Amino acid sequence: MVLAYNVPMTYPVPAKQVETLYEIKKSKFIACAGFANSRESAMALLESVKQQYPDARHHCWAYVFGNPNAPSSAAMADDGEPSGTAGKPILNVLQHKDIGDIMIIVTRYFGGIKLGAGGLVRAYSAAAQQAIDALDVRQEIKLEPLSVDIDFKHEQFVRHLVEQAKGKIANCRYKSSVMIDIELPLDALDNFKKQMAPIAFKVSAKNE
């Protein structure tokens, strides 16, 4: 029996979307914080905010994908504000918080009084921080992808074990045996091995 895997990690992510309002010198900064784990989901969230506030002058944003201790991706945008006064302060707030797969969009309504570069930085930072403070989080459990090579007669048994472990069946390939691509939480792997011990099988990392 061979079992090889990389250790996945769990980390806090937004449990639900929140919206907060920060006002200074008649300018309104509406911050929306929510879950996003891909460019597509982040842009979808941005588009929904734009539709909600179509008359706003700016929709500035930043996101961090993956584990906050080792993000897989991060990006930001000033959306017409002076360079470095909006997206960067929002991203800076995110990078100092232990929350992953998160996007913050700060929508600004200009109040007629210029804040200056320093004032904008402070305002966007404060708006982002306010949204973070209002955010509820949940633990994101990363599933480890594995490929299980078994005899046909054991397929239903494996499917049952995966369901019990709250894992997923990603794919099945039928040849001289059955190769099942599964995804399991790390804390379920030891029990999975014990229950699979009576049958002949091979488990390896899916990306090997």
What is the residue-level pLDDT of the chain in tens, covering all 208 positions?
333 334 345 789 999 999 999 999 999 999 999 999 999 999 999 999 999 999 999 999 999 998 888 888 999 999 999 999 999 999 999 999 999 999 999 999 998 999 999 999 999 999 999 999 999 999 877 777 888 888 888 899 989 988 888 888 888 899 888 888 888 887 787 788 888 888 766 655 554 4
142-205: CATH class: alpha beta
Q: Cα–Cα distance between 56 and 165 in angstroms, integer?
A: 47
User: Where in the chain are the domains?
Assistant: 10-139, 142-205
- For position 16, what pLDDT does the model report? 94
10-139: CATH class: alpha beta
- For position 167, what pLDDT does the model report? 84
CB 14 within 8 A of CB 99: yes
Q: Cα–Cα distance between 54 and 85 in angstroms, integer?
A: 22
